[in-house]
């Protein structure tokens, strides 16, 4: 019998990650790559010492209460942990880690892609050529919104938010931000701090969301906050869907209060919001913020680094509880 800890990897991680995991652990892995539901998580927990889940597996208070005592650590393959009830896990004495830093560049790339694509109508243009609808060129054809030199508001100036600010500076944008805590002047790199959304929102010709979903932030982009933006603002979300009241977003697109939106995250995932597909002003991607080959390896390795530390009796670098 193997004395290696038993680790359940819930989804198909990168080949390099699986190879490294198998070298050190007894790995349970189902290549069908389906999100594990509550019943599966609870049943499987009796067979494993550790779980490497993704944000597709929900560790609600109800699930956590029924986990086997055998599970000692949940080493998430994600930076966002809104799928985990951290209080419930802490009460059960289960260690929880995440994978910060290593996905910030990839996610900010997608945020910038959405910003540029929404402003300059990239998906519409691509569709026009593919569908054979491109019959003419005129000075009034496919006119969009310039990005260079505009003001961007960033909500959540953490790891991804700070990379996004650097990318925005590359387009000579003036960076404004709201965060739980003001950054040091050195880290601000000239970005203008707003203690409240009340002063940030009227500045934000572009608004990009980079804060976690918590009880405080859920629904923070709603009818009130959208109406505080300048007329014709553009909203970008690579954080989490539930930050936005999607009905309010649709109403703001309808009224022209928002000129466009670029979204990588939705309340309903997978699938998204079918109403959004009716609006060419909404540019959408299927939650691929961190989906690069390089980042998938880095996320897998970071989750394994946390497991290795835990099973060596050390403090995992990214321990949350």
Ligand X SMILES: O=C(O)[C@H](O)CO
Ligand Y SMILES: NC(=O)c1ccc[n+]([C@@H]2O[C@H](COP(=O)([O-])OP(=O)(O)OC[C@H]3O[C@@H](n4cnc5c(N)ncnc54)[C@H](O)[C@@H]3O)[C@@H](O)[C@H]2O)c1
Q: Is there a catalytic annotation at residue 77?
A: no
Catalytic entry in 269, 275, 294, 315 = 269
Closer Cβ to ligand Y, 94 or 113, answer by number: 113
Q: Which of 210, 240, 296, 302 is catalytic?
A: 240
Residue 129 has which token pair?
């050529």
Give catalytic status of residue 240 as yes or no: yes
The piece of 27-35, 61-69, 78-86, 194-202 that touches ligand X (CB under 6 A) is 78-86
What is the phi-psi region of residue 54: left when phi exceeds 0, alpha when psi lies from -120 to 50, beta otherwise? beta
Task: Candidates 10, 17, 45, 107: give the one binding ligand Y (CB under 6 A).
Answer: 107
From 8-16, 73-81, 141-149, 190-198, span contacting ligand X (CB under 6 A): 73-81
- Span from 75-83, 125-133, 140-148, 177-185 in contact with ligand X (CB under 6 A): 75-83
- The nearer residue to ligand X, 158 or 289, going by C-beta atoms, is 289
For ligand Y, the closer CB: 156 or 316: 156
11 is catalytic: no
Which of 242, 289, 300, 316 touches ligand Y (CB under 6 A)?
Answer: 289
Sign of the Cα torsion 120, 115, 253, 195 reads negative
Nearest-CB residue for ligand Y: 158
**Which residue in 11, 44, 121, 287 is the catalytic one?**
287
Q: Which residues contact ligand Y by CB under 6 A? A: 79-80, 100, 103-104, 107, 155-161, 178-181, 210-212, 214, 216-217, 238-240, 264-265, 287, 289-290
- Residues taking part in catalysis: 240, 269, 287
């Amino acid at each position: 019998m193997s004395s290696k800890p038993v680790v359940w990897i819930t989804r198909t991680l990168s080949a390099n990650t699986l190879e490294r995991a198998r070298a050190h652990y007894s790995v349970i892995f189902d290549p069908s790559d389906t999100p594990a539901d509550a019943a599966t998580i609870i049943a499987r927990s009796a067979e494993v010492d550790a779980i490497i889940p993704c944000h597709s597996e929900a560790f609600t208070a109800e699930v956590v209460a029924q986990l086997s005592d055998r599970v000692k650590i949940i080493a998430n393959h994600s930076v966002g942990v809104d799928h985990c009830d951290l209080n419930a896990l802490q009460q059960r004495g289960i260690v929880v880690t995440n994978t910060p830093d290593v996905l910030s560049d990839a996610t900010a790339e997608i945020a910038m892609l959405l910003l540029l694509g929404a402003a300059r109508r990239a998906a519409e243009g691509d569709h026009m050529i593919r569908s054979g609808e491109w019959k003419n060129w005129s000075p009034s054809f496919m006119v969009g919104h310039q990005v260079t030199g505009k003001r961007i508001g960033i909500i959540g100036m953490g790891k991804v938010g700070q990379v996004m600010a650097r990318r925005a500076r590359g387009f000579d944008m003036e960076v404004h931000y709201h965060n739980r805590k003001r950054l040091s002047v050195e880290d601000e790199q000239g970005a203008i701090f707003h203690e409240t959304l009340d002063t940030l929102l009227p500045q934000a010709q572009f608004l990009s969301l980079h804060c976690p979903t918590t009880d405080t932030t859920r629904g923070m982009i709603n009818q009130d906050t959208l109406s505080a933006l300048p007329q014709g603002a553009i909203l970008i979300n690579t954080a989490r869907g539930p930050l936005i009241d999607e009905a309010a977003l649709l109403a703001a697109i309808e009224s022209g209060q928002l000129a466009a939106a670029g979204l990588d995250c939705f309340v309903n995932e997978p699938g998204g919001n079918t109403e959004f597909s009716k609006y060419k002003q909404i540019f959408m991607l299927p939650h691929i913020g961190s989906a690069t080959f390089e980042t998938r390896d880095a996320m897998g390795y970071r989750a394994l680094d946390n497991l290795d530390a835990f099973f060596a009796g050390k403090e995992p670098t990214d321990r949350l509880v």
